[in-house]
Amino acid sequence: MTTELAVRGAFDLAASTRFLEGFAPAGRSDAATEPGVLRLAFPAEVDWPPVGAAIRQRGRTITVELTGDIDDQDRIVAQVERILSLDVDGRGFPELGRRDPVVGELRDRYPGLRPVSFHSPYEAACWAIIAQRIRITQAAAIKQRLAEQLGERVTIAGQQLAAFPAPQRLQGRVLPGLPAVKAERLHAIATATMAGKLDGARLRDLDTDQALEELTQLPGIGPFSAQLILARGAGHPDLFPTAERRLHEEIARAYRLTDPTLAELAAVADGWRPYRTWVGLLLRTRREDDTSEISRGRRADR
């Protein structure tokens, strides 16, 4: 089952693949096993059947080949588009780069790179719980182990991948490698997901403040995690994270600000509208490329 995606603005699938290889939560050091093909395995939203997507790019044509229990092709394709930020019109991004030299430099260094999100807000919320107070590399290993032990395997373009377990597979289960408090919180996340509280389209449609307020009502989800879930789970393209110190440090460095207030940082980010999430991603990517702080094991919640 193959379909073509419309792309509005620059997009480079190879850049997305390279990003996933360095994105610890994805656990995808194998993302480029076959040049030109990105494979994704994930539980599809709403009913959460395990599905796979093989994504290819030729010029401006993006094709998605779906495998697995496909009950609603259009909905699953929309989820793939959200994962790769292809649901956002990027044609205005070059003009932003012309107005703002910092953004222009980032765009030139990472041409066609758009945010690559978690497969769903549910999976982003689970990551937020798993990663609390431990190193990113430890959290990534636990998340991958849950996929291998409790998730379902999907064959995608000749290769098997384990999808993260669907929420109904987490509910009430013993979760290996996790302390009791984190297991309880993951059970609560799974229950909230089954009740529709982490639906990606719904979160995107809400006012940003309302969405964040709802997310912080979930057990174990504070402001940092709520912003992660909305920006990198629901794929919100225009969010300035108020609780992300590493991004704030990078903004201050890039714009040569001395001890800026949060209001001053937010004012800088206002100039990136409607792509605040995109610019934040590029700033963090550059920081990691320059410092390797995440790959060296820095904690996930800082």
Whether 14 is covered by a domain: the verdict is yes
Q: Name residues whose C-beta falls within 8 Å of residue 296's C-beta, 6 or more positions apart in sequence.
A: none
pLDDT one digit per residue (tens) for the chain, 302 residues? 899 998 999 999 999 999 988 776 766 556 556 778 999 999 999 999 999 999 999 988 999 999 998 888 999 999 999 999 999 999 999 999 999 999 999 999 999 999 999 999 999 999 999 999 998 889 999 999 999 999 999 999 999 999 999 999 998 888 988 999 999 999 999 999 999 999 999 999 999 999 999 999 999 999 999 999 999 999 999 999 999 999 999 999 999 999 999 999 999 999 999 999 999 999 999 999 998 776 665 544 44
Residue 53 structural domain = 2-111+119-291
Query: Distance between CA 122 and CA 100 in Å, rounded?
Result: 34
Q: Where residue 170 sits, what CATH number does that domain have?
A: 1.10.340.30
- CA separation for the pair 254, 8 (Å, rounded): 28
Is 297 among the domain residues? no
What sign does the CA torsion over 54, 283, 279, 294 have?
Answer: positive
Q: Is residue 230 part of a domain?
A: yes
Q: Please indicate, yes or no, if residue 65 is contained in any of the structural domains.
A: yes
β-partners of residue 153 are 162
Give domain status of residue 23, yes or no: yes
Domains contained in the chain, number? 1
- Per cent of the chain over pLDDT 90 is 82
Examine residue 299 and state whether it is found in any structural domain, yes or no: no
Residue 273 lies in a domain: yes
Task: Go through the chain and tell me how many residues it has.
Answer: 302
Domain presence at residue 206:
yes
C-beta separation of 57 from 13 below 8 A: yes
The DSSP output letter for 25 is: G
